[in-house]
Chain A
Amino acid sequence: MPEISKKIFISAGESSGDIHGANLMHCLLEKDPQITFHGLGRENMITAGLHSLHDMSHKSLMWLHALTEIFTFLKMKTDCVRFMRQERPCAVILIDYCGFNFYIARAAKKLGIPVIYYISPQLWAHGPWRVKKIKKLVDKLLVIYPFEKPFYEDAGIPATYVGHPLFDEIRKKGVNEGILGELKNELGETVVSFLPGSRRQEIVRLLPLFLRSAAQIHQQIPSARFLISCNNEHHFNLVDAIAKVSGVPYKIMVGNVQEVIQASDLCIAGAGTVTLQIAYFLKPLIIVYKISPFAYFIARPFFTTPYIGLVNKLANRMIAPELLMCTGNHSWIAKQAAQLLRHDQKRRECIEELTSLMDRIAKPGASRHAADEIFKLIRPA
């Protein structure tokens, strides 16, 4: 009987995918320490033992921006295909990052290597027609939101809900009580935090809007202090330059997102995974997504869900105020913020809804469940 390959090809492009990929690698190694991982990842996956074909740090590019690095991507793809052809891994595990990973999936499929997609692209939110592509390329989907399972299964794709690995990550990181205590002492009783996102484009688009709303909130609630979360230290100067002109009392925190959330009475965030982190800490939140009028016009026919925030999508109703805006409607943010800060009833309702949602979805062990499913596929009993 031929020996089954112990090589797994794994690919993650984004920094969040890198963290989840590393956790998955740890769980797979616990099940079989002889497995070796090859592919694309960043520092976390490399530390976890990935034999990296290309370091994906600084290669997270959105949409048309990716065109500027087209030759780098072509080289990466060529190297990945060459590796798969020569080494014949027992499986290809793709983590999010659908643009590039679809090419890897296609190459693997041609070579007859099973393709497992962990953290599927959010096609239910934009581009549901691409499900047909997934059906052609992927053998198994490991989805992280409960509503994704029927969405993909209806299209005839085998999908298993494994839970969201973010919740494992939140628990693992915990909250640094020292930093939290310092923040609370420094900022006082009413803290509003802004979490625009980790990408430069998101900061430029959302932070000025948030800070204009901060000025209005500060007028209504003079005791309010503002905390700005800056995920990437490279963006500190940018964030500081934007915040300086706002005229409101602010503090910028580089990293320590969980402490920022925990120290806050209200979080105002862009529509991303961070909203789930905020929900996990049961903090009232406002979700804002801003795009240009032209982008809204282009994207409008493809909106398939009535909600932009994951929290609302998961609850299937508006439990946190959210707004998709083309113009900077900062007054709306300020109005919602004042309501959530001042009205106990509204605040309590929001927290109760978040509690109920987290009871349903914030279950531990997503990476372990994903590893179990992968083993079922590559080592059938």
Chain B
Amino acid sequence: MFILEQIWDFYVTVFTTAFNLENALLLFGSVILGIIFGAMPGLTATLGVGLLTTLTYGINTTTAMITLLGMYVGAVYGGSYGSICVNIPGTAAAAATAMDGYPLACKGEAGRALGLTTTASFIGTMVGMFFLALFAPLIAKLALQFTSFEFFLLAFFGIMISGGLTGQDLVYKGWISGLIGLFLALIGRDHLQFFPRFTFGISELDGGLEVVPVLIGAFGIPQIIQVIRDQLSVGEAKKFQRVVPELRIIVRRIKTIVRSALIGVGIGAVPGIGEDIAAWVSYGTAKKASKNPEAFGKGAYEGVIASETANNACIGGAIIPLLTLGIPGSPPAVMLLGALMIHNVTPGPMLSIEHPHFIMEMTAILCLASFAMLICGLVLAKQVVKVLRIPPPIFMPVVLALCVIGSYALGTKVFNLYLMVPVGILAYFMQSMGYPIAPLVIGVILGPMADENIRRALMVSQGSFLPFFTRPVALMLLLIIVWMFVSQMPFYKRFTAWLKGKIFKKKITESTI
């Protein structure tokens, strides 16, 4: 009965959205905007979703989600245009696509490469959507059993894993970034006793830092500074006649598609890990699994298909923990979380009770967005490529104006702008020193959850830490967190090296005997 209800919700949303002219126009408009955003080097899906969030606060939740998911899907896909046509990935998620996409374009196969990325992205999004429909209600039901102990550990786990996997230089730089995010989340009155913390008498800080200006600052300002400072220039786009969806090539590489989609969904479901990591892991796996790995980097169809399927499948994967646990799976999903908060929808285990149809609505919107992306991709590719000619010093100032008005408009407070700029500059310096930004914003978002739940949990247990060890899920999360932390410590590395040496020595002695 439950399954039938869910399927019914899905089709109702699909048909009501598809046959509602306003929603359909918004969907196509946001997908096209997303493709343009994704295609332009320097503009990311995260920034696109963030900026669009500020325009949606006046409309109803479903319509807002249509525009935001349309932008998300379009931008992740749109990144491939820059990769294929000018060898500059529009988004980090499309960087792996450039490895084979550009060589294909140089061979005069730009149209075919774009056709493959369009089809692969469509399939990837649909697979992600399927997993969202399948697992989100189950995880949501399971999460209802969670108590404050699990939620505290889950929030901490989200920050730790996102920090651990996104740190480009040292793993603990990701954690430091997460801890700074947690500090930012502490500013303001605490939610249990309303005690002001780190406000220094500034009344504007009493309510805490508003999430959206922090997100826009952390993602937008560093992007503007980096693109302008490093004089990112775009070359002449490779020409192509039309986008050809080659079903024959796709069918022959179905194994790669299925593998990449599963990788994408899996990585997407891990908190804070974005589409870029999914694309690279999938690309690497496809290369390893290929009978012809030397063709990779020279224009292999598998390379393009693998990265594009994975990065779009990641979208569905990233929405699963967002809706069921309130923990965003990727940076654009962080922005979606901000948007949901604005619309008074609190993602987490209670979502399926407070808004029973919401998960299926999101699934249906994702399905429609992937169809809209397929249609727009096939029809408008030639026109979209023209936006690659716009030089960054022209569009980045406009992005700044959008960031500013977007941050201001949410609370109509100039103070939000005063906040956005330092956060942005901090994020820029952190980024330039190898600190990932995703854990910082995840820290800002999950900080209150971790703070409230640890205190609630200890209140229930009267200060005893024992339930952390007696509750199975809590224990499992605790062990993972401790292992993640300890495994990066020098003494652990020395110990494992010593252990490996011992075992190796023993094996050699045994073999000589």
Q: Does B bind A? A: no
Q: Which residues of A contact B (CB under 8 A)?
A: none
